[in-house]
Amino acid sequence: MGTRDCQHICDESSPAVGEAGKTGEWRDTFPAIDAAKCLPVRQNKPSCFLCWLYCPEAVISKTVPIQINMEYCKGCGICAQICPAHAITMVSEESFSLDEKG
């Protein structure tokens, strides 16, 4: 299958989820969440959400508990750095099986 169906003659894309492909494939470290430490979970109400605020890919949900869209998370680790409760740890992709990632 070739790219002849693509009508663009220069590189062109529209801002949309997935326009750059599944960027989750770029990831080599994985944000593992320890829900017991996450403030919204501990307080059982929407709060903190610094990870949501700082995520450059906007792949973290503002929910209790937070959820990360692993199809597009590039594994940059900013969420782990910013989390005041140290609830997120970056771990090597290989050390996690797909099942564990959920």
Token pair, residue 35, equals 């829900």
Q: How many Cα atoms sit within 13 Å of 97 on the Cβ side?
A: 2
Which two tokens mark 69?
């869209």
Contact stretch for other proteins (CB under 8 A) within 1-9, 28-36, 45-53, 83-91: 1-9
Nearer to other proteins by Cβ, of 27 and 37: the residue is 27
* Site membership for other proteins, residue 9 (CB under 8 A): yes
Lookup: tokens for 76: 């940059």
56 binds other proteins (CB under 8 A): no
Token pair 């959820």: residue: 67
Q: Which range binds other proteins by CB under 8 A, 2-10, 48-56, 60-68, 76-84?
A: 2-10
**Total of chain residues touching other proteins, rule CB under 8 A:** 19
What's the min distance (Å) between Cβ of 8 and other proteins? 7
Sign of CA dihedral 13, 16, 21, 25: positive
